Amino acid sequence: MPGTEKTVEKQRGRPFQKGQSGNPNGRPKGARNVTTLAIEALLDGQAEALTQKAINLALTGDMGALRLCLDRIMPARKDRPVTFELPTINSAQDAAQVSSAVLAAVATGELTPADAGEISKLIDTWVKAFETAELAERLERLERMTSQ
């Protein structure tokens, strides 16, 4: 009867056993993508003309070309230094006072909330490091006391 015979199923899932790769050496170092190489070959020798065309379009008011040119001239800054007088932190109590100073600086507009968040992370990291060092010191003192 047709349809009652079992058909051979195609292998699904992983074609290789666990721990075995079809290409154990991987992609050679320095190997470049074929598409990238093809695009570079097409653009070879045209970079100056294309750049000039983008500049001309930007000068005539093409906003996309203008954005492209400005992004190349002056890329967006990822980070910037913050000028904020951070009080000295010598204890966990000092960290609480510094956090208050950071909040006050946000309230007066001296710091942005994003900058304050980053500074707060630094303060938290310092507090954790301080507490860890203090705990290790206390544990060492206790061990010395019990060994005497």
Tens-digit pLDDT profile for residues 21-67: 777 787 888 888 889 888 888 888 888 888 899 899 999 999 998 88
Query: What digits encode the pLDDT tens for the residues 89-146?
Result: 888 788 888 899 899 989 998 888 988 998 899 999 988 998 899 899 999 999 888 8
- The reported pTM is 0.46
For residue 136, give the nearest of 124, 146, 148, 144 by alpha carbon. 144
Q: Are 106 and 116 in contact (CB under 8 A)?
A: yes
Task: With a cut of 90, say whether residue 84 has pLDDT above it.
Answer: no
The two structure tokens encoding residue 21: 């790769």
